[in-house]
Chains A and B, each alone.
Chain A
Amino acid sequence: MKRTASALCVLLVVLLTGCTVRPSGVFDGGDAATGIAKGTPVYLLDSEGDLVLRRPTSSLGTIGQALRLLFTGTDPDAGALHSRVHLGSVPTALDIPATISGDTITVRLPIPRRRVYGAKGIDQIVCTVLAVHIQRGGSPSSQVVLTFTTDRPTEPRTCPVLGQ
């Protein structure tokens, strides 16, 4: 009888002292931080029409900043590389909004569809958007939808040189 009572008391104490916060060893806390890079990724085209990655600045920046660099062509070392996206008279101070919903990035371009020449021009924009998105910790399987001031938006697209 006494032994049973003692065992019960010990069990109660063990149970009730089990609910305290104790020091621990090192344990996993999830994914690390990212978002740092040696420059903003911008895709230009070489003479063969292939996409080439350029980094005209020293920090990663945002999707909007990368697109503005693409549109304005401020890369002094671009050499023979060129772009098939022409801004025309759109002010350079304008921010280009990009919204992310799940695995879809929607970019609202402040230009009509005709300012982008052909599929290569679309690929330049999509690859630039995806490169920034992935380097900021986004999913590599994301797709990009481009909207224009006129005409219909593009279908969700991926970048041909990012190997998905």
Chain B
Amino acid sequence: MRRRSPRDVRALRGLRARLIAACVAVAVLAAATASWASAASASNSLLRSTQQRIADTAARRITDTAPALVYPPDTGDLRKIRDALDGPVVVTYESLRVHAGETAAITEQLRTAVHGGDHLALQRADSATGMKLLVGVPVLITGVDGQQRPSGIEVYLVRDLGDVVRQVNALTRNAIWTSALALPVAVLLALLAARGVLRPVRELRGTARKLAAGDLDARLRPSGVDELAELATTFNDTAASLQSSISELARMEADSRRFVADVSHELRTPLTTLTSVAEMLEEDLERMPSDARASIELAIAETRRLASLVEDLMEIARFDAGAAQPHLERVDIPGVVRECLRSRSWTEQVRLDSPEELAAVLDRRRLDVIVANLVGNALRHGEPPVVVRLSADEQEVHLEVIDNGPGLPEGVAAQLFARFHKADSSRGRSAGSGLGMAITAENVWLHGGTIEAGNADGAGARFAVRLPRWSEET
């Protein structure tokens, strides 16, 4: 047997399948109920009328025969009653008894009901030869005043109900066939109904997908005045409201990004001047009085930090503006990493664990930024020795940076790549700009890669970067 695919399961549990199943169930149940009701009604009527006809016929024949009988009767009189009736019959009067045919089916229950009774008693009983109707007839003496009393004469008849059973079974079969014939019709009608109801739902799904994909102009065409048309109108209103909100947000975001970019750009020129002045001052530090030296050193450090912050802000602004494009080329990754560590004098504190050669197509400068930021972060917030581990498969390059510090506090990893995130909230001002990890993440994402932060077993914090190995060269 073929296993059901998830799609098959979805189709079976879908709205269409449920709608069709519900319609078919209701229709078949309605047809079955109607068929049963009519069959049961007809069967009951047939059975009742047959039973009554048998009972009335027996009572009438006995009543027609009785006036010719002597009372108290002898066996000859009882025979006259017996002979007036067809089929199996027993006639009793006190100890006298005459009978004809097979009367074993007559029950004690029936005899008890007839004995001393003033009404006919009927009972259906199963026998070896099929369903029988047992009829018990007490014969009453009616006085000239109309008062009746039992005469002691009792007549029992056994009548076959085979014909009625056959007719009832035929009615039942007809009911079953009617119910069965309702099934294909119900399926057809349910399919048509489902099609009519679900078409607008499918349109709704398609339009919702377009909206999700970014086509904010996508709208439904409401038709009619039913609930589905109302739903379409509401959906359109929601989409319009969403479009308006998103457009407003996008405008505000663009404005704020432009503001950041403009501010950063405007700050560059005075900062260049300040940096030049700071460098000049730095050269003359030795000749300055010692009380002024500390202040000047602080001013120089802050000027450099401000310049770095502005550079980072401009980098972030370029990412936000979509202006950042990776310059892809074939690079030897271990070579790039070694150069990054060497140029920043980190070779003593960092151990590189990598194959001798590992080629990939990446943006060399951005890879340098990624490695520098991660290693710098590890040295600043963790403890040396820091391990940089490189590996690759056919599709991806794996870069891990593991420090030997206390590791990341719980809950920090999720916000680590947010802008201006500070791992230590008590340090409002740190050597970093608070944008380094955000820029790192942006550079990874620009390559189509992923970055994760966590803790390594038996070590400190662990940052894992995956980059596509063979991006198309530009």
Contact = CB atoms under 8 A, between A and B. Distances in A.
A101 interface: no
B86 to A, nearest CB: 16
Contact of B39 (A11, A19, A53): A19
Contact of A29 (B52, B139, B164): B52
Interface in A7-59: 8, 11-12, 15-16, 18-38, 41, 53, 58-59
A67 interface: no
A19 B124 contact: no
B212 interface: no
Given A18-B40, A32-B139, A38 B71 contact: yes
A16 B176 contact: yes
Contacts of B148: 32, 34
Interface in B30-64: 32-33, 36, 39-40, 43, 47, 51-52, 55-56, 58-60, 62-64
A163 B122 contact: no
Contacts of B43: 19, 21
B25 A36 contact: no
B310 interface: no
Interface string B119-156: 11111111000010001111111111110100101010
A27 B63 contact: no
Interface of A is mostly: loop
Interface stretch (A87-95, A113-121, A134-142): A134-142
Interface size range on A against B: 35 or more
Contact of A26 (B109, B143, B144): B109
B161 A37 contact: no
Given A21-B161, A135-B142, A16 B172 contact: yes
A36 B123 contact: no
A35 to B, nearest CB: 3
B326 interface: no
Which of A4, A27, A163 is packed against the most chain B CB atoms within 10 Å? A27
B67 A32 contact: no
Nearest to B165: A21
B117 interface: yes
Contacts of A22: 124
B67 A27 contact: no
Contacts of B122: 26-29
Contacts, number: 173
Given A30-B55, A32-B119, A16 B175 contact: yes
A38 B139 CA distance: 14
B262 interface: no
Nearest to A62: B67
B264 interface: no
A41 B123 CA distance: 37
B120 A21 contact: no
A146 interface: no
A80 interface: no
Interface of A: 1, 4-5, 8, 11-12, 15-16, 18-38, 41, 53, 58-62, 130-131, 134-137, 140, 162-163
21 contacts: A12-B29, A16-B175, A16-B176, A19-B40, A19-B175, A24-B123, A26-B136, A27-B122, A28-B122, A29-B51, A30-B120, A32-B118, A32-B137, A34-B63, A34-B141, A36-B69, A36-B73, A41-B144, A134-B143, A135-B143, A137-B142
The 5 A-B residue pairs with the shortest CB-CB distance, nearest first, are A29-B120, A35-B66, A140-B146, A33-B62, A29-B122
Given A58-B70, A60-B67, 14 more contacts: A15-B33, A20-B169, A21-B168, A31-B120, A32-B118, A33-B58, A35-B139, A35-B142, A36-B140, A36-B141, A58-B71, A134-B143, A135-B142, A162-B145
